[in-house]
Structure 1
Amino acid sequence: MSGGSESDDCVTANGMVYIPEVRNEETPTVGMKFDSLDLAYNFYNRYAFLAGFGIRLHSSFRGTYKKEILRKEFVCCKQGAYRKDETRERKRQRGISRCNCKAKIVVVKTNGSKKYAISLFAEGHNHKMTDSERVHLLRSHRRISDSTKVLTKQLGSVNIPIHQKVSIFEVQSGGMDKIDFIKKDIYNLECSVNGKLRNHDVELVTEYFMAEQKKKNEAFYFKIEGDGEDKFSRCFWADATSRRAYRLYGDVVVFDTTFNTNRYDLKFAPILGVNNHGQKIVLACTFLSKETTESFIWMFEEFKKAMQGGEPKTIITDQDAAITRAISIAFPTTFHRLCIWHITSKFHVKLPHSAYKEYWREFQKAIWDTDNKDEFDAKWNIVVTKAGFTDHQWLSSMFDLRESWVPAYARDFFAAGMSSSQRAEGSHAFFKQYISRRNSLMDFIIRFERALSHQRQKELAADHVDAFEVAQCILPMPMNKQMATLYTRAMFQKFEKELIQRTACFLELKTEDASKVVFN
């Protein structure tokens, strides 16, 4: 290179010109011909890589009716000058990279020729070249191959974040300088793909659900409603497996709306149950844009249309006025049980700190260690009076609602071992392994189906154990041996544990007939 400066800044004031030192066969020359503009770009970009600068496309001239490009300029990436736009508010301040460099090539296509020829080659730059260790970071020398794009999509389908994707590509390629792109390029790629899908969610999801319905002989049920602008308002769906499961295990369902799983901040509201292995199962799914009574009624009505077997006997939810009103209208005969975990977790917020520390143990004993309604009422009133909270508004409201959440009151209602919507929140933790808040709705549904497949595989594995193995009984009692043949492995282990605990109790015969014996 001729001349030089200790600074990497553009050197225009003193007229210094930098000439790259590249082999002649790799250097453009006037008259050099190419079969296409892509080949011309690739040749100049290869030269730029060896020289230590980046390039970009610049002006074009088209022929009659703009059918064919007759002239094209490829310029140094530092061509042009920075112009500050005072009318535009920038979210972040970028450095100035352009310094009016004049280096470029111009290719033209003459009449009657099928090839492009270099008509001008400006070799000199007004800035120093980039070191060979950094030249791969220049934009024109970064490229994401088609195979990398496919792998990026596959990794994204299992919710692997961008930084981990880049680490995988780094290991595959043998170093960061050999992967041909940077983390920002993967981010831009995903933004570009998502941008093309944006505002088409209703159309895409509807097509996907219709394909599922056709593939599964109409056993797949769904209902989608938009807001008139090709955006979701609400969506309900239940597949054949879930609908069949409700007929078997639909006595108790859990409903929760605390899960945001997509870039639109729609509420994902799964309706869950528990199977004969004590495992969580998905019975139906809903997206809701509004958490209103009307939205919940719509969801519950769609649920009734999709499911055979009538209303559930018990539904467990968080304490929410809109949900409560909707259940009373849609499921008038269903027992609505409030999530006891959500209620008890509010004590430390609703009570003064000192009072919570002093009396929480007594509240716990009143809630959990009472066998009947009268005993609970008595213990509750004692601790409330002792604490001086007889006029406490929140405690009074919880006492008024005691039939909906206190175990002593709900003991007569079947709950399948579920006393709270923590089971729904545990399911959320499972699905979060597969789902990201950056998801479009189509992304979410595809990834959710994968998560659901993993969940159902666990149920299949439990079924296999029951079919292939016989449970071993700890207690050699006829009843215990009989239950081992009737219960699933998980349920039998619970039964046997309780039976062992009961051996410490004194049993008294109460009634006996041909079908059963009852002890107290």
Structure 2
Amino acid sequence: MAPVKGMEYDSKESLMIAYQDYAKLQGFSVAIRSSSSKYYVLACFKGRKPKDVITKFTRQTQCPARVNCIVKTNGKVIVSNVELNHNHSLEPQLSMFMPGNRELSLHMKRLLESRDIAGFRTCKNVRTLEVMAGGPQNLGVTERVCRNFIDKRRRLRLGEGDAKAIHGLFLRMQLQDKNFFHIMDVDDEGRLRNVMWVHSRSIAAYEDFHDVVSFDTTYLVNKYKKPLATVVGVNQHNQSILLGCGLLSHEQSESFKWFFSNWLMAMKGVQPTAMLTDQCESIKIAVKAVFPMTIHRLCLWHIASKIPQKFKGVADFHSCSSDFYSTIYNSLSIAEFESRWTDFLSKHSLHNNRWLKDLFDEKENWAPIYLNHIFWAGMVSTQRSESMHAFFDGFVNSKSTLKLFVEQYEIAMQNKIQKEMNADYQSKCVMLKPVSTFQWEKQLLSEYTHNIGLLLQVEIKKISNCNVEDVAIGEDGVHRCKIKEMRLVQNVFHKEYTYTVEYRPFGEYISCNCRRYEFKGIFCVHIFKN
């Protein structure tokens, strides 16, 4: 509503708010021209006299639009004169970009800050306001204004320096949870280099799930570009569980040794049976030094990601890469793998490829045929660590301060715990419907958790794709059965594979050379078919 001569307002602030609301609708910006104990004048932002327009560009037009007020002794103001006409065009659609209209309302400030504390990412926080307003054009302010306000409130909330603030936060967390573990590494000048913390829940989970972990540092999470290091395990629901977290100063062996040594201390000296990492020489050095008893596997995804670069000179790239993958994934014995590798090099004239030579030299650390007799919870890459990083994307971003990251990390962890509890509920209270008439399926489903039961049923549904070809009994009394499986690709039978299942008649021993049970902990379809 436009101000009218004689109108009375409770204060200068209330008049300013009312006039600004009117200005936003009309398409101009407001500026204070005079403010004293007796008089108060609000004017159009373009109301000043233009400077020398020949030598200096100016937007001022000496616009006459203004509101003159008299200030009473009790603080109230009375409008004494009003001029509503402007000598320039008004732009209602551009109001939010004008300097005087960039102020957030108190209600918007409260919404932005409360959601920020609750863990909303900034983009999601602002987007929610835009939806509530019916679109960005109706919000009244720009996204940058909202982001600047959030950043300012964070600085006000954080206050102290990062190192001191994080230390104080960790101490408070330890008062609430005496088993919470944390450690900070500072240099000679007292500057924070590395920090690592482990929840008591993670320490307890590690006692049950220390057979295989994934370690990754590929995610730069905060404004200081410190790598986020995470140790991720797998629980009984096939869910990724965070077993430790740290922010490192750099990705060198010294930092990794520091992290691994302190993480191992938090886990009471129990080394993981197996660890999966990317193909980083510094990590290799640190793992070998701190975890000498741990089986170290290199991430296949990181190896495969280098193929376009390493095979770029090969004449038939697609055939070459296809043969490479087939050699890796479809070899059922060490002898077959080595034979196929030799054939692959010959077929594509790659005997002098240095990358492949180095890769073959450490084949025991990455090729599935050398490793799949060990339980890996189905992991061949660090994707579980990367999915954990993606999970944190909803709570922190590249501009997060260290203390803010730790605060938001706590909120993210609570969210993760809720998902684990929901999986517990599904396993205890929701019964999976069998997909077959086999009695043993019901028996297995009663023993497995809900999520593992679903994976089991995937194997059961493939029984019709398999045929028993031959059964032989060895001198050792072990039965050996040939199983042929037709693989489906886009619902079309694509290729036939032959597997060997070995077993003793009374069930004390059974194994398949696909190693799916050893590798994933779930019986394969070939064993079921037998």
TM category (shorter chain) comes to 0.7 to 0.9
2:444 corresponds to: 483
User: What SS does structure 2 have at the residue aligned with 1:420?
Assistant: coil
1:10 corresponds to: none
Q: 1:312 to 1:515 in 2, by over 3 A?
A: farther
1:390 corresponds to: 351
1:150 Cα deviation after fit: 2.0
Q: Is the 8 A contact 1:26 1:47 kept in 2?
A: no
Structure 2 gaps, min length 5: 480-502, 512-530
Of 298, 307, 310, which residue of structure 2 is paired with 1:338?
298
Q: Which moved more, 1:330-339 or 1:193-202?
A: 193-202
Q: 1:108 to 1:251 in 2, by over 3 A?
A: same
Q: Is the 8 A contact 2:27 2:93 kept in 1?
A: no
Separation in structure 1 between the aligned mates of residue 455 and residue 28 of structure 2, nearest angstrom:
71
Give the counterpart letter for 1:454 in structure 2: N
Of 146, 165, 176, which residue of structure 2 is paired with 1:204?
165
Separation in structure 1 between the aligned mates of residue 50 and residue 240 of structure 2, nearest angstrom:
62
1:504 corresponds to: 468
Matches within 5 A, 1:96-245: 96-98=58-60, 127-128=87-88, 130=90, 138-156=98-116, 157-159=119-121, 160-161=123-124, 164-171=127-134, 179-196=139-156, 197=158, 200-216=161-177, 218-226=178-186, 232-245=192-205
Higher strand share: 2
2:251 corresponds to: 291
Q: 1:169 to 1:377 in 2, by over 3 A?
A: same
Query: Structure 1, residues 265-301: CA drift from partner, whole Å, max 9, x if none?
Result: 2211211011112121111111122111111111111
Q: Is the 8 A contact 2:40 2:70 kept in 1?
A: yes
Query: Structure 1, residues 174-226: CA drift from partner, whole Å, max 9, x if none?
Result: x767644343422332343345448733333333332222122x122122335
Give the counterpart letter for 1:420 in structure 2: S
Q: 1:313 to 1:101 in 2, by over 3 A?
A: same
Query: Structure 1, residues 72-97: CA drift from partner, whole Å, max 9, x if none?
Result: 9877534376799xxxxxxxxx9843
Q: 1:147 to 1:83 in 2, by over 3 A?
A: farther
Separation in structure 1 between the aligned mates of residue 352 and residue 104 of structure 2, nearest angstrom:
67
Q: 1:344 to 1:22 in 2, by over 3 A?
A: closer
Separation in structure 2 between the aligned mates of residue 194 and residue 80 of structure 1, nearest angstrom:
40
Of 419, 443, 446, which residue of structure 1 is paired with 2:380?
419
Separation in structure 2 between the aligned mates of residue 170 and residue 35 of structure 1, nearest angstrom:
28
Structure 1 gaps, min length 5: 1-20, 28-33, 62-68, 85-93
Alignment TM-score, normalising by the size of structure 1: 0.75
Q: What fraction of aligned residue pairs are identical, expressed as a percent?
A: 26
Q: 1:323 to 1:128 in 2, by over 3 A?
A: same
Give the counterpart letter for 2:307 in structure 1: F
Q: Does 1:517 align with 2:477?
A: no
Give the counterpart letter for 1:158 in structure 2: F
Give the counterpart letter for 1:380 in structure 2: W
Of 321, 327, 330, which residue of structure 1 is paired with 2:281?
321
Q: Which structure's CA Rg is the greater one?
A: 1
1:8 corresponds to: none
Q: Is the 8 A contact 1:194 1:440 kept in 2?
A: no
Q: Is the 8 A contact 2:130 2:138 kept in 1?
A: no
Alignment TM-score, normalising by the size of structure 2: 0.74
Matches within 5 A, 1:8-23: 23=4
2:419 corresponds to: 458
Query: Structure 1, residues 359-386: CA drift from partner, whole Å, max 9, x if none?
Result: 3333223212222323212221222133
Separation in structure 2 between the aligned mates of residue 469 and residue 36 of structure 1, nearest angstrom:
62
Q: Is the 8 A contact 2:96 2:142 kept in 1?
A: no
Separation in structure 1 between the aligned mates of residue 472 and residue 447 of structure 2, nearest angstrom:
24
Task: Count matched residues.
Answer: 473
Q: Is the 8 A contact 2:180 2:199 kept in 1?
A: yes
